[in-house]
Structure 1
Amino acid sequence: MKLLFVADPIETFKTYKDSTFAMMREAARRGHEIWACEVSDLVWRSGGHVVARQARALVLTGHATDWFNVTVTQELALKDTGAIIMRKDPPFDSEYFYATHLLGQAEREGARVFNKPAALRDHPEKLALMEFPEFCAPTLVTRSPAVIRAFHAEHRDIILKPLDGMGGMGIFRVGADGLNLGAIIETLNKDGRETVMVQRYLPEIAQGDKRVLVIGGEVVPYCLARIPQGGEVRGNLAAGGKGVAQPISERDREIAQALGPRLAARGLLLVGLDVIGGSLTEINVTSPTCFQEITDQTGFDVAKMFIDALERALAG
């Protein structure tokens, strides 16, 4: 089967930890054709099909460096693939939004896309959790500085973050003294032009911001706790957090089993839930990671579970 991965430049992959690479490796092991392109390669001409202008057929070498060889570079109609795996990293900006529309057109032409483009648009990674308040800590979404100040006055210790951030970018903590709250609000909401998410600070972050993976509606039995280091409030690996794999807790399982089947039914084959303590803090749907960290530390093959689920979805 021909699998097209729409991703960031493959030359930038850190293969020792990249989840998209782990997917490719498992798919290649099963004999699937591996192709790759970037969002910028997508083209839709009036009266024509959506194509990847410079799709590359890859052969994986098995080496840590120079990990692929390109055998063919050509224009490829997306409808002529067995499946398209959308793995472009955030930010979910206007270009990402337009890419989901091109992929949606490819679906109408017969392509199978995972995660489903409409579902990507309908589940912004910060906002999506608001549908499930029973699992969340107190959370606020607003442009209003006054409303943010009132939320701080109520909860005293808060986290503020932009809606389009990734990897811990732009996350601030403001304690009971309110130090720098005004400056942080100005920085994030840009004089009322941009919306901000605010959450009550969860001290359980000291034990890690847990990434719980749900594949085809089923929960991966291990999570990766991303533990802040060196006085940081952020556990994100990109912000220097330490990743420690561990069995999921009963609360993790409760959240994942409640959300997983519902999100899978909407076309989200792969979801990454972020859980601090017992509270859901984000629902990641664009390019959830942590496959290799979990596999390396526990022996549970996350990529195998993903390709199994992909093959079942295509056969269904």
Structure 2
Amino acid sequence: MKSAHLYICDHLSLLRPGVDTTLAMARSSRAAGYESYWCLISDLVWRNESLWVFARPFDGEHKVEPGTWLDANHVFKGVFVRTDPPVGREYLAALWLLDAAEQKGLSVWNRPSTLSWANEKTLILRYPDLIPPTRVTNRVDELRDMIETEGAIVLKPLDGNGGRGVFVATAEDRNLSALLETATEEGQRQVMAQKYLAKVREGDRRVLLVDGEALAVLNRVPAEDEHRANMHVGAAASLVSLDADDLRICSALTESFQTLGLRFVGLDIIDGYLTEINVTSPTGVEEVLAGGGPDLCAYLMDRL
């Protein structure tokens, strides 16, 4: 009988106690009676007919225990892919191996074949009716044109996470040329540009879904001197109720997510617009629980 869960994640030293969802999930695995293990994306090996993992025991804390090789399909009831972007060649290679193991019956959250192409910024382009005015380009003139049209834009690197490398650009910015050249690496790098939504000052809503069901919403309000609503740069998060826009957007996405095998997902919604879809390592479960919301990790364990 399969009696363990595996977390493929960044090194434990990079996970933040008290806020990191991966740590909370591992503790929930133990509480549900499962052995829990973690590994890096480089710890996967295909041997003849099976995926083998150099796995280390994981109790949801930071102590790194000695590892051992385990046959994934015979040991793990569930595998959670939790490595943060950016995506590189090693990450893609790991997903290819996980996809092969999934075809042999391994349960992987989220589906590896989908993760191999589902960029967290550009995935929203599949749902144009739900998103704000958006362009993806490496052309400075294209970005200037959008600024003229929209007044202010938000620039995002396609391979970033946690608000890193995100800028607000306006026509009045005296450093606009330098900012656009830096963001695009002088025309060599694609970026996403979205209309700046002023209501972000009232909050960027993180909606957490499991198997298409919206279970909790965190409203993240940027710090006074910040435009980014990411918690690690000082945004204040509070648990709020689902509103009509949340329900409308979630309803429009549920069938697509089920088809794509996206089982645990975080949506970012500002002023009724979908701005990002987090599929690699959604966060926020600790903040939801601290705010008196449901135990999402326990819910995840029940769905395996």
Which of the five TM-score ranges fits, normalised by the shorter chain? Answer: over 0.9
Match 1:275 to one of 269, 280, 291: 269
Alignment: residue pair count: 301
- 2:22 and 2:40 map into 1 onto residues whose CA distance is 13
The amino acid that maps onto 1:41 is D
Q: Normalising by structure 1, what TM-score?
A: 0.89
Match 1:284 to one of 258, 278, 285: 278
The amino acid that maps onto 1:77 is D
Q: Secondary structure at the match of 1:299?
A: coil
Any gaps of 5 or more consecutive residues in structure 1?
Answer: 61-65, 312-316
Match of 1:200 in 2: 195
The amino acid that maps onto 2:44 is L
Q: Normalising by structure 2, what TM-score?
A: 0.93
Deviation string, structure 1 residues 60-89 (Cα, Å, up to 9, x no partner): 6xxxxx66684x621112222222111111
Match 1:190 to one of 185, 191, 211: 185
Kindly state the Cα deviation for residue 192 of structure 1 after the two structures are TM-superposed.
2.0
The amino acid that maps onto 2:58 is L
Match 1:40 to one of 30, 39, 42: 42
1:150 aligns with 2:145: yes
- 2:64 and 2:230 map into 1 onto residues whose CA distance is 32
- Over 3 Å counting, the alpha-carbon distance change for 1:171 and 1:296 in structure 2 is same
Kindly state the Cα deviation for residue 115 of structure 1 after the two structures are TM-superposed.
0.5
The amino acid that maps onto 1:297 is G
Moved over 3 A (4+): 66-70
Q: Percent identity?
A: 35
Match 2:6 to one of 4, 7, 11: 4
Whether the aligned pair in 1 keeps the contact of 2:26 and 2:59 (CA below 8 Å) is no
Match of 1:63 in 2: none
Match of 2:164 in 1: 169
Deviation string, structure 1 residues 223-262 (Cα, Å, up to 9, x no partner): 1111111321101112221112211211111111221232
Whether the aligned pair in 2 keeps the contact of 1:143 and 1:195 (CA below 8 Å) is yes
Deviation string, structure 1 residues 129-180 (Cα, Å, up to 9, x no partner): 0111111110001122221111111111111111011111111111242432
Match of 1:28 in 2: 30
- 2:293 and 2:126 map into 1 onto residues whose CA distance is 34
Any gaps of 5 or more consecutive residues in structure 2?
Answer: none
The amino acid that maps onto 2:232 is A
RMSD: 1.8
Match of 1:14 in 2: 16
- 1:73 and 1:88 map into 2 onto residues whose CA distance is 19
